[in-house]
Structure 1
Amino acid sequence: MDLETVMQELEALGKERMKKMYISNGAHEPLFGVATGAMKPFSKIIKKNQPLADELYATGNYDAMYFAGVIADPMAMTEEDFERWMDGAYFYMLSDYVVAVTLAETDIAQAVADKWIASGEELKMSAGWSCYCWLLGSRKDSEFSASKLSNMLDQVANTIHHSPERTKSAMNNFIYTVGISYLPLHEKAFETAKAVGPVEMKREKKKSSILLASENIQKELDRGRLGFKRKYVRC
């Protein structure tokens, strides 16, 4: 299936209501407004196709960029490919839910995420922290360094309140994910969440969001989900 055919199929799946919702979250034209669930049957036909994924991502169309992440072959992507995708990720739904998710299925995930966290750039930092969330929520605890993650928790505690807005959200999710999905540091993450307290995330043209990792960790503990791991990163 070629680029033109895929773009026509995506356009046919577009809905005005979804388009408005994506725009309210930061997307901009061009986009069709395709619900992610509507992409699934289509993605099963194409399966993994990295050349086509790169073509779709390069269109700058939000739906095409998202679909690129669905059909990408992460293990065929280099660090340079991820940097190029990151450069094109103009808002958090691309940086955190397309680029970071795809990166999380590779062997270079932690190395690239570490660079992004250290970059000082809002969406790169957000993608880096988000990538760790996807990793921690799907891989065995033994694949991580407890001392490294402990230092990262300290970093979040010391910097979250004066970090860029989207980075705050990803950092908050990091505390929560360590607290639920990484057993060796469950207690430290819970204590860190309590010490950090409410985090205000300002949003353009919307009310601020108040993020509270400790409350979310407690809810998951009450549901008996300590140690939760998902089978797949990408749905």
Structure 2
Amino acid sequence: MDLQTVMRELEALGKERLKKMYLSNGAHEPLFGVATGEMKPLRRQIKRNQELAEQLYATGNYDAMYFAGVIADPKAMSAADFERWIDAAYFYMLSDFVVAVTLAETEIGFAQEVCDRWIASGDELRMSAGWSCYCWLLGSRKDAEFDSGKLAGLLELARETIHDAPERAKYAMNMFLTTIAVSYVPLHEQAVETAAAVGPVEVNKDKKKSKLLSASDNIQKALDRGQIGFKRNYVRC
């Protein structure tokens, strides 16, 4: 299946209601408004195709860029490829749910090196993608694959910097605190203590009504559902 055929298939799946929703969340034209679940039959036909994924991502069409992440071959991508993808990720649905998700399916050491560089960059969407990728990794890989000392250092970094971080990074960092507590058992207690020390995190300060994020509340909900130690079987849809 070539680029033109896939674009026609995606356009046919577009819904005006979803297009409006994506636009309200930060997407911009061009886009079709395709539900992610509607992409699954197309994904099953194509499976993994890195060349086609690169062509789709380069279109700048939000739905095509998202689908590129679905069919990409993460282990065929270099650090330079991921830098190119994050450069083109113009809002958080691309940075956190396309680039970060794709990176999370590479070799774990490589993924963490890229994440660490993005977290230290000071760039809002790179930081968001880096923290988000750690969440995807922690939620899908065995605890033994991680260095607990390194993760403890990231917990401390989050505690010290989250309140002054860029907006989207706050969301991802808050989720990181929750994910450590829920999915990485060796640091569960430390994550619970860190979340309590951080307290509510204010976002949307520039809007009429701000919002408070609470990792402690999310952790408690997971405890109530008996989800401590939860790991997902896969990352991508």
TM-score, shorter chain, exceeding 0.5: yes
Identity fraction in percent: 72
Q: What corresponds to 2:102 in structure 1?
A: 102
- 2: CA distance between counterparts of 1:110 and 1:189? 19
Which amino acid in structure 1 is aligned with residue 236 of structure 2?
A: R
Q: What corresponds to 2:230 in structure 1?
A: 228
* 1:129 Cα deviation from its structure 2 partner: 0.3
TM-score when scaled to structure 2? 0.97
Q: What corresponds to 1:153 in structure 2?
A: 155
- 2: CA distance between counterparts of 1:93 and 1:43? 19
Deviations 1:24-55 (A, max 9, x none): 11000000000000000111001000000000
The structure-2 alpha-carbon separation of the partners of 1:203 and 1:60, relative to structure 1 and needing over 3 Å to count, comes to farther
RMSD (CA atoms) = 1.0
- 2: CA distance between counterparts of 1:140 and 1:36? 27
Match of 1:212 among 202, 214, 229: 214
Which amino acid in structure 2 is aligned with residue 229 of structure 1?
A: K
Q: Which runs of 5+ in 2 are unaligned?
A: none
Which amino acid in structure 2 is aligned with residue 16 of structure 1?
A: E
TM-score when scaled to structure 1? 0.98
More divergent stretch after superposition (196-205 vs 12-21): 196-205
Q: What corresponds to 1:143 in structure 2?
A: 145
Alignment of 1:63 with 2:67, yes or no, is no
Matches within 5 A, 1:44-123: 44-107=44-107, 108-123=110-125
Q: Secondary structure at the match of 2:211?
A: strand
Q: What corresponds to 1:133 in structure 2?
A: 135
- 1: CA distance between counterparts of 2:219 and 2:130? 21
Deviations 1:1-24 (A, max 9, x none): 000000000000000000010011
Q: What corresponds to 1:182 in structure 2?
A: 184
Deviations 1:111-163 (A, max 9, x none): 11010001110000000000000000000111111111111101101100010
- 1: CA distance between counterparts of 2:209 and 2:181? 27
Which amino acid in structure 2 is aligned with residue 168 of structure 1?
A: K
Q: Which runs of 5+ in 1 are unaligned?
A: none
What number of residue pairs does the alignment pair up? 235
Deviating runs (4+, > 4 A) in structure 1? 203-206
Match of 2:194 among 177, 192, 195: 192
The structure-2 alpha-carbon separation of the partners of 1:9 and 1:204, relative to structure 1 and needing over 3 Å to count, comes to farther
Which amino acid in structure 1 is aligned with residue 122 of structure 2?
A: G
- 2: CA distance between counterparts of 1:72 and 1:206? 39
- 2: CA distance between counterparts of 1:200 and 1:213? 12
Deviations 1:155-206 (A, max 9, x none): 1011000100000000000000000000010000011111111111117657
- 2: CA distance between counterparts of 1:168 and 1:120? 12
Which amino acid in structure 2 is aligned with residue 92 of structure 1?
A: Y
* 1:208 Cα deviation from its structure 2 partner: 2.5
- 2: CA distance between counterparts of 1:127 and 1:194? 24
